[in-house]
Amino acid sequence: MDGSKTRSEGLYDTDNTMGSDPRRIKKKIAFPRVFEGDMQVLCWIKDFRFRTWCGDTPYSLAAHASNVTTRGFTAIAQGSMNAERLSTTWIIHRQGKPKVASGTFKSLDGDCSSSTGRIAFPKGTFNRTPTVLVALSAVDHAGGRDLRIGTYVTKINPEGFDWHLHTWGDGNDRAMRSAEAAYVALGFV
């Protein structure tokens, strides 16, 4: 977006500070204006970098929001000891906004190659099939293996969608220890 007063998205980059304290980095984010009502903040992973010489140390990252108010929120970036950098993206919307549904979903089983489930939208949110955007918001992947993990959605309709989290490649059949993704469904796009 152009940075105008209606801006409701942004980017937070740890900019190589993960190595100083990879467990948890917090940053207060101020909205460009005060919003009315309860706000929903979705965070997801934009890009990242891990040290490659850490052997079997798990690849773990998470991005989420806390202390959400009408004026801002606290962005939290977390990573395992081998995390060097994490860029997160966020978007906000008013809870209960017509033709918008959002939330997160996470893997159901540890040490697997895939996990699938269904999200049901609140009744009456959409009268036609919405556009669903989805991205990873947390990853815990076995170390010492290729980090290949992704998410996608299928069977989208006005009632909901099926979600999928998966890993692939040689030796990755049980590499996904856990994963989470954030979604936003828009009925006006």
Domains of the chain, each with CATH number or no CATH: 1-95 (2.60.40.2080), 99-189 (2.60.40.2080)
Q: Which two tokens stand for residue 18?
A: 């993960």
Helix runs in 17-173, H state only = none
Q: Which of 56, 61, 90, 53 is nearest to 75 (CA)?
A: 90
Most confident of 9-13, 95-99, 146-150: 95-99
What's the pLDDT score for residue 5?
A: 37
Q: Which residue has the higher pLDDT, 65 or 21?
A: 65
What is the DSSP pairing of strand 176-186 with strand 131-141? antiparallel
For residue range 105-136, what is the model confidence (pLDDT) as tens digits?
998 767 677 789 999 999 999 999 999 999 99
CA 90 to chain centre: 9
Mean pLDDT across 18-33: 72
CA distances, 11 to each of 27, 46, 90, 135, 158 (Å)? 11, 8, 6, 14, 30
pLDDT band at 8 (very low <50, low <70, confident <90, very high): low
Q: What angle do CA 167, 168, 172 make, to 5 degrees?
A: 85
